[in-house]
Amino acid sequence: MKHAKKNKFRLFIAQKGLKSTRQRDIILDCFLSSSRHISIEELYLKLRSKNPNIGYATVYRTLKLFAESGIAREIQFGDGQTRYEHANEGEHHDHLVCTRCGTIIEFENQDIEQLQQEVAGAHGFQIENHKLELYGICAKCR
Amino acid sequence: MKHAKKNKFRLFIAQKGLKSTRQRDIILDCFLSSSRHISIEELYLKLRSKNPNIGYATVYRTLKLFAESGIAREIQFGDGQTRYEHANEGEHHDHLVCTRCGTIIEFENQDIEQLQQEVAGAHGFQIENHKLELYGICAKCR
DNA sequence: TTGCTTTTGAAAATCACTTTCATTTATAAG
DNA sequence: CTTATAAATGAAAGTGATTTTCAAAAGCAA
Protein backbone atom coordinates (compact mmCIF):
# COMPACT_ATOMS: atom_id res chain seq x y z
CA MET A 1 0.00 0.00 0.00
CA LYS A 2 2.63 2.47 1.08
CA HIS A 3 4.88 1.05 -1.56
CA ALA A 4 2.27 1.51 -4.26
CA LYS A 5 1.98 5.19 -3.38
CA LYS A 6 5.70 5.67 -3.36
CA ASN A 7 5.85 4.20 -6.82
CA LYS A 8 2.98 6.27 -8.02
CA PHE A 9 4.66 9.42 -6.81
CA ARG A 10 7.98 8.39 -8.28
CA LEU A 11 6.27 7.89 -11.61
CA PHE A 12 4.53 11.24 -11.38
CA ILE A 13 7.82 12.97 -10.64
CA ALA A 14 9.47 11.25 -13.59
CA GLN A 15 6.68 12.04 -16.04
CA LYS A 16 6.71 15.68 -15.07
CA GLY A 17 10.45 15.92 -15.48
CA LEU A 18 10.84 16.83 -11.83
CA LYS A 19 13.62 15.70 -9.58
CA SER A 20 13.73 13.12 -6.87
CA THR A 21 15.09 14.74 -3.75
CA ARG A 22 15.97 13.75 -0.22
CA GLN A 23 13.34 16.13 1.18
CA ARG A 24 10.56 14.71 -0.95
CA ASP A 25 11.40 11.21 0.19
CA ILE A 26 11.43 12.23 3.83
CA ILE A 27 8.16 14.11 3.56
CA LEU A 28 6.50 11.25 1.70
CA ASP A 29 7.59 8.71 4.32
CA CYS A 30 6.37 10.94 7.08
CA PHE A 31 3.06 11.57 5.37
CA LEU A 32 2.45 7.91 4.66
CA SER A 33 3.12 6.95 8.26
CA SER A 34 0.77 9.60 9.63
CA SER A 35 -2.87 9.55 10.53
CA ARG A 36 -5.24 9.70 7.60
CA HIS A 37 -6.09 13.38 8.07
CA ILE A 38 -3.10 15.45 8.88
CA SER A 39 -2.76 19.21 8.81
CA ILE A 40 0.28 20.84 7.26
CA GLU A 41 1.26 22.26 10.62
CA GLU A 42 1.14 18.83 12.26
CA LEU A 43 3.13 17.23 9.50
CA TYR A 44 5.66 20.04 9.57
CA LEU A 45 6.20 19.66 13.31
CA LYS A 46 6.50 15.90 13.02
CA LEU A 47 9.07 16.35 10.26
CA ARG A 48 11.06 18.93 12.15
CA SER A 49 11.53 16.66 15.12
CA LYS A 50 13.77 14.46 13.01
CA ASN A 51 14.84 16.92 10.34
CA PRO A 52 15.32 20.30 11.96
CA ASN A 53 16.41 21.91 8.77
CA ILE A 54 13.49 21.15 6.52
CA GLY A 55 11.70 24.27 5.33
CA TYR A 56 8.12 25.31 5.81
CA ALA A 57 7.74 26.19 2.15
CA THR A 58 9.07 22.82 1.08
CA VAL A 59 6.39 21.03 3.07
CA TYR A 60 3.68 23.13 1.48
CA ARG A 61 5.09 22.65 -1.99
CA THR A 62 5.55 18.94 -1.57
CA LEU A 63 2.05 18.32 -0.27
CA LYS A 64 0.68 20.11 -3.29
CA LEU A 65 2.68 17.72 -5.43
CA PHE A 66 1.25 14.75 -3.53
CA ALA A 67 -2.24 16.00 -4.27
CA GLU A 68 -1.39 16.57 -7.91
CA SER A 69 0.04 13.09 -8.22
CA GLY A 70 -3.12 11.58 -6.80
CA ILE A 71 -1.66 10.02 -3.68
CA ALA A 72 -3.17 12.65 -1.40
CA ARG A 73 -6.22 14.84 -1.34
CA GLU A 74 -6.67 18.30 0.12
CA ILE A 75 -9.55 18.69 2.55
CA GLN A 76 -10.85 21.59 4.56
CA PHE A 77 -13.17 21.37 7.49
CA GLY A 78 -13.65 25.07 7.82
CA ASP A 79 -11.30 25.53 10.76
CA GLY A 80 -8.85 27.48 8.66
CA GLN A 81 -6.38 24.60 8.43
CA THR A 82 -5.82 22.69 5.24
CA ARG A 83 -5.49 18.98 5.80
CA TYR A 84 -4.29 16.23 3.51
CA GLU A 85 -5.65 12.74 3.50
CA HIS A 86 -4.33 9.60 1.88
CA ALA A 87 -6.11 9.13 -1.41
CA ASN A 88 -6.72 5.77 -2.99
CA GLU A 89 -7.31 5.22 -6.66
CA GLY A 90 -10.92 5.78 -7.59
CA GLU A 91 -12.06 5.80 -4.01
CA HIS A 92 -14.07 8.57 -2.52
CA HIS A 93 -15.43 8.94 0.93
CA ASP A 94 -17.18 11.53 3.02
CA HIS A 95 -16.67 12.65 6.58
CA LEU A 96 -18.32 12.79 9.95
CA VAL A 97 -16.61 15.47 11.99
CA CYS A 98 -17.06 15.78 15.73
CA THR A 99 -17.38 19.42 16.67
CA ARG A 100 -16.29 18.69 20.25
CA CYS A 101 -13.15 16.60 19.95
CA GLY A 102 -12.34 16.91 16.27
CA THR A 103 -12.52 13.19 15.58
CA ILE A 104 -12.98 12.47 11.92
CA ILE A 105 -14.76 9.35 10.72
CA GLU A 106 -14.86 8.38 7.07
CA PHE A 107 -17.83 6.80 5.42
CA GLU A 108 -19.05 5.83 2.04
CA ASN A 109 -22.64 5.53 0.99
CA GLN A 110 -23.66 4.47 -2.45
CA ASP A 111 -27.28 5.44 -1.98
CA ILE A 112 -26.33 9.02 -1.24
CA GLU A 113 -24.00 9.13 -4.24
CA GLN A 114 -26.79 7.79 -6.40
CA LEU A 115 -29.19 10.47 -5.20
CA GLN A 116 -26.56 13.13 -5.81
CA GLN A 117 -26.33 12.00 -9.41
CA GLU A 118 -30.08 12.27 -9.73
CA VAL A 119 -30.18 15.76 -8.29
CA ALA A 120 -27.36 16.88 -10.55
CA GLY A 121 -29.00 15.30 -13.56
CA ALA A 122 -32.26 17.06 -12.82
CA HIS A 123 -30.40 20.37 -13.08
CA GLY A 124 -28.39 19.43 -16.15
CA PHE A 125 -25.20 19.23 -14.12
CA GLN A 126 -22.39 16.83 -14.68
CA ILE A 127 -20.73 16.14 -11.34
CA GLU A 128 -16.94 16.19 -11.19
CA ASN A 129 -16.63 15.76 -7.50
CA HIS A 130 -18.45 16.48 -4.31
CA LYS A 131 -18.02 17.25 -0.69
CA LEU A 132 -20.23 15.93 2.07
CA GLU A 133 -19.47 16.63 5.67
CA LEU A 134 -21.71 15.86 8.59
CA TYR A 135 -20.83 17.91 11.66
CA GLY A 136 -22.06 16.80 15.03
CA ILE A 137 -21.20 15.12 18.28
CA CYS A 138 -19.57 11.72 18.28
CA ALA A 139 -20.61 8.80 20.45
CA LYS A 140 -17.74 9.32 22.87
CA CYS A 141 -18.49 12.99 23.44
CA ARG A 142 -22.16 12.53 24.17
CA MET B 1 -39.63 39.09 2.47
CA LYS B 2 -37.05 41.86 2.52
CA HIS B 3 -39.15 43.65 5.04
CA ALA B 4 -39.35 40.60 7.29
CA LYS B 5 -35.56 40.39 7.36
CA LYS B 6 -35.19 44.06 8.08
CA ASN B 7 -37.50 43.66 11.02
CA LYS B 8 -35.76 40.59 12.22
CA PHE B 9 -32.44 42.38 12.15
CA ARG B 10 -33.89 45.44 13.85
CA LEU B 11 -35.20 43.22 16.61
CA PHE B 12 -31.87 41.47 16.97
CA ILE B 13 -30.08 44.80 17.25
CA ALA B 14 -32.51 45.98 19.89
CA GLN B 15 -32.34 42.82 21.95
CA LYS B 16 -28.57 42.90 21.97
CA GLY B 17 -28.52 46.52 23.04
CA LEU B 18 -26.72 47.51 19.87
CA LYS B 19 -27.27 50.63 17.89
CA SER B 20 -29.07 51.25 14.67
CA THR B 21 -26.72 53.07 12.34
CA ARG B 22 -26.77 54.52 8.89
CA GLN B 23 -24.06 52.11 7.76
CA ARG B 24 -25.93 49.04 8.94
CA ASP B 25 -29.03 50.18 7.09
CA ILE B 26 -27.09 50.77 3.91
CA ILE B 27 -25.30 47.44 4.10
CA LEU B 28 -28.51 45.58 4.85
CA ASP B 29 -30.30 47.15 1.88
CA CYS B 30 -27.40 46.36 -0.37
CA PHE B 31 -27.18 42.78 0.87
CA LEU B 32 -30.90 42.17 0.49
CA SER B 33 -30.90 43.46 -3.05
CA SER B 34 -27.94 41.30 -4.06
CA SER B 35 -27.70 37.85 -5.52
CA ARG B 36 -28.28 35.02 -3.08
CA HIS B 37 -24.59 34.17 -2.75
CA ILE B 38 -22.41 37.22 -2.49
CA SER B 39 -18.82 37.42 -1.40
CA ILE B 40 -17.69 40.11 1.00
CA GLU B 41 -15.47 41.62 -1.67
CA GLU B 42 -18.34 41.85 -4.12
CA LEU B 43 -20.65 43.40 -1.58
CA TYR B 44 -17.94 45.82 -0.49
CA LEU B 45 -17.35 46.99 -4.05
CA LYS B 46 -21.05 47.34 -4.70
CA LEU B 47 -21.39 49.40 -1.55
CA ARG B 48 -18.42 51.58 -2.33
CA SER B 49 -19.83 52.64 -5.66
CA LYS B 50 -22.55 54.56 -3.84
CA ASN B 51 -20.88 55.10 -0.49
CA PRO B 52 -17.20 55.74 -1.08
CA ASN B 53 -16.49 56.23 2.57
CA ILE B 54 -17.81 53.02 4.01
CA GLY B 55 -15.08 50.96 5.64
CA TYR B 56 -13.90 47.48 4.86
CA ALA B 57 -14.00 46.48 8.50
CA THR B 58 -17.55 47.71 8.86
CA VAL B 59 -18.73 45.45 6.06
CA TYR B 60 -17.05 42.45 7.66
CA ARG B 61 -18.44 43.27 11.07
CA THR B 62 -21.91 43.90 9.79
CA LEU B 63 -22.09 40.68 7.79
CA LYS B 64 -21.12 38.78 10.92
CA LEU B 65 -24.03 40.45 12.66
CA PHE B 66 -26.37 39.44 9.85
CA ALA B 67 -25.28 35.84 10.30
CA GLU B 68 -25.69 36.07 14.06
CA SER B 69 -29.15 37.51 13.69
CA GLY B 70 -30.18 34.67 11.44
CA ILE B 71 -30.91 36.65 8.29
CA ALA B 72 -27.75 35.47 6.56
CA ARG B 73 -25.55 32.41 6.54
CA GLU B 74 -21.83 32.13 5.95
CA ILE B 75 -20.77 29.70 3.25
CA GLN B 76 -17.44 28.70 1.82
CA PHE B 77 -16.84 26.96 -1.44
CA GLY B 78 -13.16 26.42 -0.89
CA ASP B 79 -12.01 29.23 -3.14
CA GLY B 80 -10.73 31.21 -0.21
CA GLN B 81 -13.63 33.65 -0.29
CA THR B 82 -16.30 33.73 2.35
CA ARG B 83 -19.75 34.24 0.93
CA TYR B 84 -23.02 35.11 2.61
CA GLU B 85 -26.36 33.83 1.49
CA HIS B 86 -29.83 34.94 2.44
CA ALA B 87 -31.08 32.63 5.16
CA ASN B 88 -34.68 31.77 5.73
CA GLU B 89 -36.07 30.52 9.00
CA GLY B 90 -35.54 26.81 9.47
CA GLU B 91 -34.63 26.27 5.85
CA HIS B 92 -31.55 24.43 4.74
CA HIS B 93 -30.33 23.72 1.27
CA ASP B 94 -27.28 22.38 -0.45
CA HIS B 95 -25.42 23.58 -3.52
CA LEU B 96 -24.47 22.67 -7.03
CA VAL B 97 -21.44 24.72 -8.04
CA CYS B 98 -20.31 25.06 -11.63
CA THR B 99 -16.53 24.87 -11.78
CA ARG B 100 -16.47 26.72 -15.10
CA CYS B 101 -18.66 29.75 -14.63
CA GLY B 102 -19.22 29.75 -10.90
CA THR B 103 -22.99 29.51 -11.10
CA ILE B 104 -24.50 28.28 -7.88
CA ILE B 105 -27.76 26.36 -7.80
CA GLU B 106 -29.50 25.51 -4.57
CA PHE B 107 -31.32 22.30 -3.96
CA GLU B 108 -32.97 20.42 -1.20
CA ASN B 109 -33.39 16.69 -1.01
CA GLN B 110 -35.14 14.95 1.82
CA ASP B 111 -33.99 11.50 0.80
CA ILE B 112 -30.36 12.52 1.08
CA GLU B 113 -30.98 14.14 4.46
CA GLN B 114 -32.66 10.97 5.63
CA LEU B 115 -29.72 8.84 4.55
CA GLN B 116 -27.33 11.21 6.28
CA GLN B 117 -29.20 10.67 9.51
CA GLU B 118 -28.91 6.94 9.05
CA VAL B 119 -25.19 7.09 8.39
CA ALA B 120 -24.65 9.32 11.41
CA GLY B 121 -26.77 7.07 13.58
CA ALA B 122 -24.81 4.02 12.55
CA HIS B 123 -21.68 5.72 13.89
CA GLY B 124 -23.30 7.00 17.05
CA PHE B 125 -23.15 10.56 15.78
CA GLN B 126 -25.70 13.23 16.43
CA ILE B 127 -25.73 15.62 13.49
CA GLU B 128 -25.75 19.33 14.19
CA ASN B 129 -25.40 20.47 10.64
CA HIS B 130 -23.98 19.41 7.36
CA LYS B 131 -22.48 20.62 4.17
CA LEU B 132 -23.10 19.08 0.79
CA GLU B 133 -21.66 20.56 -2.35
CA LEU B 134 -21.69 19.03 -5.78
CA TYR B 135 -19.05 20.48 -8.06
CA GLY B 136 -19.32 20.02 -11.77
CA ILE B 137 -20.26 21.56 -15.06
CA CYS B 138 -23.61 23.21 -15.48
CA ALA B 139 -25.94 22.72 -18.41
CA LYS B 140 -24.97 26.03 -20.01
CA CYS B 141 -21.24 25.33 -19.90
CA ARG B 142 -21.43 21.91 -21.45
C1' DT C 1 33.24 17.12 -14.34
C1' DT C 2 30.48 20.36 -16.59
C1' DG C 3 26.31 22.73 -17.64
C1' DC C 4 21.71 23.47 -17.05
C1' DT C 5 17.53 23.01 -14.45
C1' DT C 6 15.07 22.21 -10.51
C1' DT C 7 14.79 22.47 -5.55
C1' DT C 8 15.55 24.27 -1.21
C1' DG C 9 15.31 27.33 2.98
C1' DA C 10 14.88 31.80 4.84
C1' DA C 11 12.76 35.76 4.59
C1' DA C 12 9.59 38.80 2.49
C1' DA C 13 5.14 39.11 0.41
C1' DT C 14 0.25 38.15 -0.12
C1' DC C 15 -4.48 37.36 0.93
C1' DA C 16 -8.43 37.37 3.54
C1' DC C 17 -9.69 38.72 7.30
C1' DT C 18 -9.46 40.92 12.45
C1' DT C 19 -8.05 44.06 15.80
C1' DT C 20 -6.73 48.53 17.53
C1' DC C 21 -7.59 53.08 18.52
C1' DA C 22 -8.80 57.80 18.14
C1' DT C 23 -12.87 59.93 16.56
C1' DT C 24 -17.71 60.13 15.53
C1' DT C 25 -22.58 58.65 16.52
C1' DA C 26 -26.65 56.90 18.66
C1' DT C 27 -29.29 56.89 22.50
C1' DA C 28 -30.42 57.48 27.33
C1' DA C 29 -30.64 60.68 31.17
C1' DG C 30 -31.19 65.02 32.95
C1' DC D 1 -32.10 70.63 24.00
C1' DT D 2 -27.62 69.53 26.44
C1' DT D 3 -24.78 66.18 28.39
C1' DA D 4 -23.00 61.76 29.39
C1' DT D 5 -21.81 57.35 27.95
C1' DA D 6 -21.47 53.32 25.51
C1' DA D 7 -21.20 51.56 20.90
C1' DA D 8 -19.78 52.07 15.98
C1' DT D 9 -16.81 53.61 12.44
C1' DG D 10 -12.69 54.02 9.28
C1' DA D 11 -7.89 53.84 8.63
C1' DA D 12 -4.19 51.52 9.53
C1' DA D 13 -1.71 47.99 11.79
C1' DG D 14 -1.80 43.15 12.98
C1' DT D 15 -2.74 38.00 12.16
C1' DG D 16 -2.29 33.50 10.48
C1' DA D 17 -2.09 30.52 6.78
C1' DT D 18 -0.08 30.04 2.64
C1' DT D 19 2.99 31.72 -1.47
C1' DT D 20 6.53 33.86 -3.66
C1' DT D 21 11.22 35.49 -4.20
C1' DC D 22 15.92 34.74 -4.61
C1' DA D 23 20.49 33.24 -3.92
C1' DA D 24 22.64 29.03 -2.86
C1' DA D 25 22.55 23.96 -3.17
C1' DA D 26 21.50 19.68 -5.35
C1' DG D 27 19.88 16.47 -9.30
C1' DC D 28 20.68 14.72 -13.59
C1' DA D 29 22.11 14.24 -18.49
C1' DA D 30 25.92 14.45 -21.49
A82-115 pLDDT tens trace: 999 999 988 899 999 999 898 999 999 999 999 9
Do the domains at B2-86 and B94-136 have one common CATH topology?
A: no
Average pLDDT over residues B69-83: 94
In CATH terms, A94-136 corresponds, of 3.40.50.970, 3.30.1490.190, 2.40.10.350, 3.10.20.600, to 3.30.1490.190
Q: Quick check: B126 pLDDT over 80?
A: yes
Q: A–B: how many Cβ contacts below 8 A? A: 109
Of A111, A130, A134, the CB nearest to B120: A134
Please state whether strand C lies within 7 Å of residue B41 at its CB atom.
yes
* Contact check, Cβ <8 Å, A123/B99: no
Select the more confidently predicted residue: A6 or A2. A6
Three-state DSSP class for residue B96? strand
Residues B98, B133: Cα–Cα separation, whole Å: 10
Q: Which residue's CA shows the smallest distance to C1' of D10? A: B55
Topology adopted by domain A2-86? Arc Repressor Mutant, subunit A (1.10.10)
| Other residues' Cβ atoms within 10 Å of the Cβ of residue B5 | 21
Contacts of A130 in chain B (CB under 8 A): 132-135
Burial B84-119 (b: 16+ CB within 10 A, else e): bbbbeeeeeebbbbbeeeebbbebebeebbebbeeb
Distance between start and end Cα atoms, chain A: 35
Please state whether strand C lies within 7 Å of residue B109 at its CB atom.
no
- Please, which residues have CB within 8 angstroms of residue B109's CB and are 6 or more apart in sequence? A115, A119, B94
**Is A136 in contact with A96 (CB distance < 8 Å)?**
yes
Q: pLDDT tens digit string along B20-32? A: 999 999 999 999 9
> What does the domain layout of chain A look like in residue ranges?
2-86, 94-136
Q: Which helix (H) or strand (E) holds B39?
A: strand B37-39
How far is A78 from chain B, CA to nearest CA, in Å? Answer: 8
pLDDT the model gives residue B94: 97
**Is A73 in contact with A67 (CB distance < 8 Å)?**
yes
Residues B127, B142: Cα–Cα separation, whole Å: 36
Contacts of B97 in chain A (CB under 8 A): none
Contacts of B139 in chain A (CB under 8 A): 123-125
**Is A132 in contact with A97 (CB distance < 8 Å)?**
no
Q: Quick check: B1 pLDDT over 80?
A: no
* Contact check, Cβ <8 Å, A112/B107: no
Q: Which helix (H) or strand (E) holds A97?
A: strand A94-98
Average pLDDT over residues A58-66: 98
Q: pLDDT tens digit string along B27-53? A: 999 999 998 899 999 999 999 999 999
Q: Quick check: A24 pLDDT over 90?
A: yes
Give the CA-to-C1' distance from B85 to C26 in angstroms.
29
Q: pLDDT tens digit string along A107-132? A: 999 999 999 999 999 999 999 999 99
